[in-house]
Structure 1
Amino acid sequence: HTKMAMYQDRIFAFSPTGELIQLPKGSTAIDFAYAVHTDVGDTTVGAKVNGRVVPLRTPIENGDQVQILRSKAQEPQVEWLNFAFTGKARSAIRRFVRQKEREETVALGRKFYDEIVKRIPAELGKEALPGALKRLKLPDQDALMEAIARKLVDDATVMDALMPGSAEKAGVKRREGVQREAISMKGLTPGVAFQLASCCTPVPGDRIIGVRRPDEPVEVHTIDCRKLAENQDADWVDLAWGDGSDGGTAKLSVVVKNEPGALGVMSGILGAHSANIVNLALSHRDTGFHTYDVNIEVDDVQHLMKILAALRAADAVSQAERTPAA
């Protein structure tokens, strides 16, 4: 009875050559492919079950004959995780996706690195990069490029690691504290503390309002921020940007084509418009397109609109929008 119960949770299917493949109940065609071999799973484009072409998400039944259709050009897709059932299939897909994401992040970081080097006021020697890795306590170049892309280090830190003192000579400031000094508010008593809300990330030029709570800085929101509905009992303050206010962080959602160089096009446009990337994260990936959440430092709304217009004009970019207020 114990053996019977054990086999009730298993499926026995066959390859076209008669090879028996044992799988847990609930497995799909993609699980069958990875059970045959990891290379088979990685290059799967489709499947035939009992001679009929079926989607990869199709559950496998006892006694099915499964033929896996392959292409050398195929790679594992992140959406396969929605229907992969076995641990072997899921771990193989995750491993590939993580490696692919890291390669893309390193490539993007290298493009940012090249832009940073151009701002250093003297040509770098051969020992500059190895020396920078030691100063930053990073194991290799890829780790540095990844740190740059993920904004774990800012431009000034990288410049000074490559050539000490070069950031100050080039007039490049560190991120900390720069934004607050450049922003002032009309409607607040001088010296009253304020902070820009992270939910809607207002930038100079947005219509804004302040929310005042006891013993807390005044929180500045865009006028259309959905979070304002949760603050009906708070003290609202009518605000406007002070003269000469400059600088803020804007959140974007950018959809690029899944093709070589697309990320480089996006970063090139941002660099050309002097938009410093504060954070970059891949939020969605499918066969044709990748969606990135990008936080960038901009001067004001007009600067932001120019950046969005430039992104939308690029062939590699399918869509570029400011992330709506939460």
Structure 2
Amino acid sequence: MYRVRELFMVEGATFSEEIPAALNQPILPEHSNDTAKFLASDLCAYLETYLDPEQVNEVYKAYLFGAKAHQGQTRLSGEPYISHPLAVAKTMAEMRMDHKSIIAAILHDVMEDTPISKERIIAEFGSDVAELVDGVSKLTHLQFRSKAEAQAENFRKMMLALARDLRVIMIKLADRLHNMRTLGVMRPEKRRRIARETLEIYAPIAQRLGMNAIRRELESLGFAAQYPYRHKIIQQALSKARGNRKELMQKVETAICARMEDAGIEARIIGREKNPYSVYKKMRHKRLSFSEVFDVFAIRVIIKDVDTCYRALGVVHNLYKPVPGRFKDYIAIPKANGYQSLHTILFGPHGIRIEVQIRTEEMDRVAESGIAAHWLYKTGDHSAATAQARAREWLKSVLEIQQAAGNSMEFLENVKIDLFPEEVYLFTPKGDIMELPRGSTGVDFAYAVHSVVGNTCVAVKINRRLSPLSTPLENGQTVEVITAPGARPNPAWMNFVVTGKARASIRHYLKNLQDDEALALGRRLLDQALSGYGLALDNISATTQEKLATELQFAQFNDLLVDIGLGNRMAALVARRLSIADEESGNPAEWQGKTGPLAIKGTEGMVLSFAKCCYPIPGDPVVGVTSAGRGFVVHREACRNISGYRDKPDKWIPLEWSDEHTSDYPTAIRVQTDNKPGVLANLAAVIADMGSNIENVSFDERDGNTTTITFTLSTLGRKHLAAMIRHLRLIPQVIKIHRARG
């Protein structure tokens, strides 16, 4: 028996707080309920195998600090709370992480669950540890409208901290792993919620960072907690299959081992079994029965170097015939998380398919530990460096998504998309390799190159042939993006883009575009309203403008103009306030009643839309009805849908068409015709000859002799429409034709 204090105190160990009496007790054996005391000794004993004594002393000091901070707190299981951070630290130690990571793991909950501040941690352990603890801590002091929003904001904060230091996510994954191991004490609904969050976010992050050992355990624990019955059924099927195939797998392993010896190849051969959740995902995604999942059991061949991997591949292909099209070379083209291996599926004995994975020792370490291999084996090997470089590339794209996202929920949604990549490997025209999620399109590829390339892309060449931007890309294709300086993202792209970066960038651009358009329209509306007072916006001092913006709780005057342009605030009321403010500053202004209709071109963008009930076109008398958040909806004056606004002058403004309009505008006409063959073709031919395009057509058969056809078509204005109607009337089968009214 020995005391914790006596065992681990080394020269220079000081602690500014009184040590709790409970800690100064004998360490109990492993089977004792006093898990915290056992873990403290176990942790420090393990750390002494690879850390300096001074660093172990710092870890022990953190243990005392954390135990004091969490004193009196217990977990739902009844254990002292300190048992949890020590278990997290033990997982970090098993990855041979540096001592600051271990300290941060021990202290990861003190800022969240105790009064200890970040400044106190900086004073005791330094800023590096404090930043790691802060990155893992949740936002407990802020109020959110919903649990989902709180989760999204916590995730956003964690990912930003992760971008600064990869160790943040490693602590968080170790924290989540211990929570999942002890999930049984939770209420069923909370258990399912935590399990779902683990399967949707944390297991995919572990996979994205190549930490497959942690990923597999998180998936197994999460699957068992969220779908216990499904987990039980698949587990039973795996056990049965294991028994049936045990003899077969031993026979295959023996055969491969013998062939390797004959070829003079040193190899370590081990069996691998797919975890229940991976089997479940494959069955669900590909709609397979359990018997159709061929890679439930696999054989892993570990070789000493890369060249020998390809020799070993030839050996197994000579032993058993490979399944055509099922060979994957992840050594030449690594996965996005740095994973490298040769995968092949063979026709084994009795025609049973068997997956064989061939890799080097270094590749195997990286496959299990991912970015942790950088700390676990500081040998400078290429694979570990590649895994970390790829992790940082992914984090760079996450930062770009964060910058473009409008809020935390949108950010979480976009990152979730990126966390489930089944990659396709593509080539740039220069031969560089790019990985994208399966189903990605030319637009996704353009944004993966650069946001500016994505924003200005107009076409894409796949294998040197022009293809639609929405075409899904396939492995091995060479993709070339064609851009144009004046091009801009199309809202329709949101219907087919796959990557989170593309979605976030398109949304960000369109939002900024709408704000720019709202700013321009708001300025015009306010100028028009001020003209009634004999004023112009340019003549009102910047001080007066900013003062009014502050009174109306806007950061700057331009934000007020955007609010007007979006239809959230009436220009007339703001003009009145500005005229009063201008009068107080010594420039009296009186209402002169000279405001006229606002001239519109139809090219004002997303803040000006045209009603589909009456289809206004240039030449029609029009009014604008305010629509909060959208600006103005243009209606014809005769439209029945705006009759309720006549007595609400604050809800609409008079408009007129500018002389500058070159766009096409949709409108609707109804044509009553004889019900005879070829009539529709004759009508369509005349419309096309008049330079118009048919956007939609519908039929309303009145009786057996006549049919009413409604066309939605493009037109330049009333004169163009009148000329079209005149030509349509010349068709003999046309009985009546008129413009559809709202």
Question: When the two structures are superposed, what TM-score results if normalisation uses the length of structure 1?
Answer: 0.55
Please report how far the alpha carbon of residue 274 of structure 1 lies from its aligned counterpart in structure 2 after TM superposition.
Answer: 9.9
Instruction: State yes or no: 1:170 paired with 2:591.
Output: yes
Unaligned runs of 5+ in 2: 1-273, 279-338, 344-354, 356-418, 584-588, 594-599, 609-616, 636-641, 648-653, 669-739
Whole-angstrom distance in 2 between the partners of 1:41 and 1:102? 20
Q: Distance in 2 between matches of 1:122 and 1:69?
A: 48
Structure 2 counterpart of 1:287:
none
Distance (Å, rounded) in 2 between the aligned partners of 1:8 and 1:169: 65
Determine the structure 1 residue equivalent to 2:567: 151
- In 1, distance between residues paired with 2:568 and 2:453? 37
Are residues 156 and 77 of structure 1, via their aligned partners in 2, closer, same or farther at CA, if it must alter by over 3 Å? closer
CA–CA distance in structure 1, aligned partners of residues 455 and 634 of structure 2: 30
Equivalent residue number for residue 370 of structure 2: none
Deviation, 1:160, is 3.3
User: In the TM superposition, what are the counterparts of 1:1-326 in structure 2 within 5 Å?
Assistant: 9-120=422-533, 125-126=540-541, 127-164=543-580, 170=591, 256-257=602-603, 275=623, 277-279=625-627, 293-294=633-634, 299=646, 311=657, 315-316=661-662, 318-319=664-665
Paired residues of 1:255 and 1:320 also in contact (CA < 8 A): no
Instruction: Flag the 1:321–1:281 CA change in 2: closer, same or farther, 3 A.
Output: farther
- Conservation of the 8 A alpha-carbon contact between 2:456 and 2:487: yes
Deviations 1:174-220 (A, max 9, x none): xxxxxxxxxxxxxxxxxxxxxxxxxxxxxxxxxxxxxxxxxxxxxxx
Q: Counterparts of 1:54 and 1:276 in 2: how far apart (Å)?
A: 40
Aligned to 1:235: none
Question: 1:148 and 1:8 mapped to 2: Cα distance?
Answer: 42
Q: Are the equivalent residues in 1 in contact too, given 2:517–2:604 (CA < 8 A)?
A: no
CA 1:319–1:130 in 2, change beyond 3 Å: closer, same or farther? same
User: Larger Rg: 1 or 2?
Assistant: 2
- Give the SS at the match of 1:18: coil
1:140 alignment partner AA? Q
What is the CA distance between 1:60 and its match in structure 2?
0.6
Aligned residue for 2:580, secondary structure, equals coil
Identity of aligned residues (%): 27
**Post-superposition offset of 1:135:** 2.3
In the TM superposition, residue 281 of structure 1 has moved relative to its aligned partner by: 6.2
Relative to 1, partners in 2 of residues 1:19 and 1:258: Cα closer, same or farther, differing over 3 Å? farther
CA distance, structure 2, for counterparts of residue 152 and residue 282 of structure 1: 9
User: Whole-Å Cα distance in 2 between the matches of residues 163 and 117 of structure 1?
Assistant: 8
Mark the CA change 1:145 to 1:68 in structure 2 (over 3 Å): closer, same or farther. same
- How far residue 319 of structure 1 moved from its aligned partner, in angstroms, is 3.3
CA contact under 8 A between 1:279 and 1:294: conserved in structure 2?
no
Q: Is the 8 A contact 2:443 2:454 kept in 1?
A: yes
CA distance 1:320–1:73, shift in 2 (3 Å): closer
Q: How far is the alpha carbon of 1:169 from its aligned partner?
A: 5.8
Distance across 1 between alignment mates of 2:466 and 2:431: 19
SS at match of 1:256: coil
- Structure 1 contact 30–41 (Cα < 8 Å) conserved: yes
Is the CA contact 2:451–2:505 (under 8 Å) kept in the aligned structure 1? yes
* CA distance in 2: counterparts of 1:135 and 1:109, whole angstroms: 18
> Structure 1 residue 116: deviation in Å?
1.6
The 8 Å contact of residues 312 and 320 in structure 1, kept in 2 or not, is answered as no
RMSD: 4.3
Rate the CA distance shift 1:69–1:318 in 2: closer, same or farther, 3 A: closer
Match of 1:160, SS? helix
> Helix, strand or coil for the counterpart of 1:164?
helix
Q: Distance in 2 between matches of 1:66 and 1:156?
A: 53
1:315 is displaced (CA, Å) by 2.7
Distance 1:58 1:258, change over 3 A: farther
Q: Which amino acid is the alignment partner of residue 450 of structure 2?
A: H
Check the 8 A contact 2:426/2:477 in 1, yes or no: yes
Asked whether the 8 Å contact 1:280–1:294 carries over to 2, the reply is: no
CA contact (8 A) 1:128 1:162 kept: yes
Tell me, in whole angstroms, the C-alpha distance in 2 between the residues paired with 1:43 and 1:317: 22
Secondary structure at 2:425 match in 1: strand
User: Given residue 107 of structure 1, which amino acid in structure 2 is its aligned partner?
Assistant: A
Q: Which runs of 5+ in 1 are unaligned?
A: 173-253, 264-268, 284-291, 301-306
Aligned-partner Cα distance in 2 for 1:299–1:169: 26
Q: Distance in 1 between matches of 2:569 and 2:590?
A: 19
Is the CA contact 2:441–2:496 (under 8 Å) kept in the aligned structure 1? Answer: yes
Q: Which has the higher strand share?
A: 1
Assess if the C-alpha contact under 8 Å between 1:34 and 1:89 holds in 2: yes
Offset at 1:132? 1.7
CA separation in 2, counterparts of 1:279 and 1:81? 24
Partner of 1:79: helix, strand, or coil?
helix
Runs of 4+ in 1 over 6 A off after TM superposition: 1-8, 295-298, 320-325
| Aligned residue type for 2:626 | V
Q: State the distance in 2 between where 1:107 and 1:57 align.
A: 32
Tell me, what secondary structure is at the counterpart of 1:170?
Answer: coil
SS at match of 2:458: strand
Deviation at 1:119, TM superposition (A): 1.6
**Deviation readout 1:14-69 (Å, 9 max, x if unpaired):** 11111110011111111111111212212211111112111111111011111111
What is the Cα deviation at residue 152 of structure 1? 2.3
How far 1:83 sits from its partner (Å)? 1.4
Change (3 A) 1:142 1:277: farther
Higher alpha-carbon deviation: 6-15 or 151-160: 6-15
Counterpart AA for 2:569: V
Higher helix share goes to which structure?
2
SS in 2 for 1:130: helix
Q: Is the 8 A contact 2:459 2:468 kept in 1?
A: yes
**How many angstroms apart in 2 are the aligned matches of 1:60 and 1:30?**
10
For 1:315, what is the secondary structure of its paired residue? Answer: coil
Question: Which residue is 1:286 aligned to?
Answer: none
Amino acid at match of 1:129: Q
Which residue is equivalent to 1:187?
none
With structure 2 as the length reference, what TM-score do the two structures score? 0.26
Match of 2:202 in 1: none
1:141-172 residue CA offsets vs partner (Å, 9 max, x unmatched): 22111121223222443133213388x96399
CA 1:8/1:147 → structure 2, altered by over 3 Å: closer, same or farther?
closer
